[in-house]
Amino acid sequence: LLSVTILFSLLVHFTCPGKIRCQSSSKCIKTTERCDGVFDCPEGEDEFRCVRLSGRNSVLQVFTSGSWRTVCSDEWRAMFGNLTCKQLGFSSYVNSIDLPVESVEDQFRRHFVSVTPSPKSSGQMTLLQQLINPRQHCTSGNVTTLKCVVCGLRPSYTPTSRIVGGNASVEGQWPWQASLTFQGVHLCGGSIITPRWIVTAAHCVYDLLSPEFWSVRMGMVNQPLDSEGILIPVEKIIYHNKYKSSTMANDIALMKLAKPFTFNGSVQPICLPNYGEDFPEGKICWISGWGATVEGGDTSLTMDYAGVPLISNRVCNRKYVYGGIIKPSMLCAGFLEGGVDTCQGDSGGPLACEGKLWKLMGTTSWGLGCAMKYKPGVYTRITSFLDWIHMQME
């Protein structure tokens, strides 16, 4: 009975009823202390994940007083854009654009904040949430959108007419595609999102965490690796701490390169999607990689690609498909009749969808067989892990 009482007391203590527990300690803080501009947790994690870009237009939002609020363009300055991009983990800032409130999605037309310059904002301020004031409406009638990196473009590609049923790629067609090599051998794919960060799958790196054995090759289409491709060593590997190989839950990882690289026509980042951004069921998105072209075969010498339609989780969880094992943080794409799919060696590579810009909507995770009937490819849903990605980059 005593042990049960002690256990219950510990559970109550660590769950912080009505409060938030710091990840770095057992300290409990008030919910209103999250993103209030003051570091209350020992490692300051209560001030992480406090800004985000939302919706189709990259509307800037700040978390304050327990909810997300849209940032008005009133008194907005470029220096605030630099500050915000750094909070999101980017080393660059491109621009901020004002949009009329009525031109953005309904959920961003209420609960506003303005950013007020202060004497300290010339250099001492490090967090956007230290400069905000709640507003009922935007005086200017405009909200702020933000762009931290030029991404989702294919500047050197002119369209011509593990991918099973795919086509051979040409240089510059998928400039964000990376080859992750372990001791010089292609093992998985990855997606370039900044000059130093690559998104891939946790199952690619889970048992191979020593960065000195890894390198990343970009800007090439053929294997063995083209001499003109860019090869950069890896400095750090981070996989999601809740990744489970038994269920493939949270199958996402990041690689930080030992040095940044310069983008060119053949090497470009793909855009991360924004919060709440999605593409409709049936939308044709694109997979690419050097994976096997038949199940159980060798990896391809040429980067292949194919178009696959997005499948809703409702359909993907039907009994004759995956029978309920697809989690909300997973995304299905492919043809239920089979014929086109990612395969061995494509793991970690991109599921790219084209809107105004190309967006990384998924990372190749798993499937049953390759291109089998009623067994479409399953991808890690990137929008479910934006917080995690930005927190690691931050």
User: Looking at the annotation, which residues are catalytic?
Assistant: 203, 251, 347
Separation of alpha carbons 389 and 252, rounded Å: 9
Closest residue by Cα to residue 244 from 189, 216, 206, 297: 206
Round to whole Å and give the CA distance between 318 and 311.
Answer: 11
Let me know if 82 is exposed, middle or buried by CB neighbors in 10 A (0-12, 13-18, 19+): middle
> Tokens for 349?
């590579």
With tokens 């406090």, the residue in question is 50
Question: How far apart, in Å, are the Cα atoms of 306 and each of 164, 334, 358, 383?
Answer: 8, 10, 15, 22
Instruction: Quote the tokens at residue 354.
Output: 């084209």
Round to whole Å and give the CA distance between 394 and 378.
Answer: 28
Find the angle CA(332)-CA(342)-CA(231) to the nearest 5 degrees. Answer: 120
CA-CA distance, 108 to 28, in Å (whole number)? 31
Phi, psi (degrees; rounded to nearest 5) at 3: -65, -40
In Å, how far from its chain's centre is CA 150? 15
Residues with Cβ < 8 Å from 161, sequence gap 6 or more? none
Sequence-separated (6 or more) residues with CB below 8 Å from residue 280: 310
Is-cis flag, bond preceding 224, omega within 30?
Answer: yes
Using CA of residue 208, residue 211, residue 212, residue 218, what is the dihedral sign? positive
Q: How far apart are CA 262 and CA 280, in angstroms?
A: 34
Q: DSSP alpha helices (H): ranges in 207-342?
A: 313-316
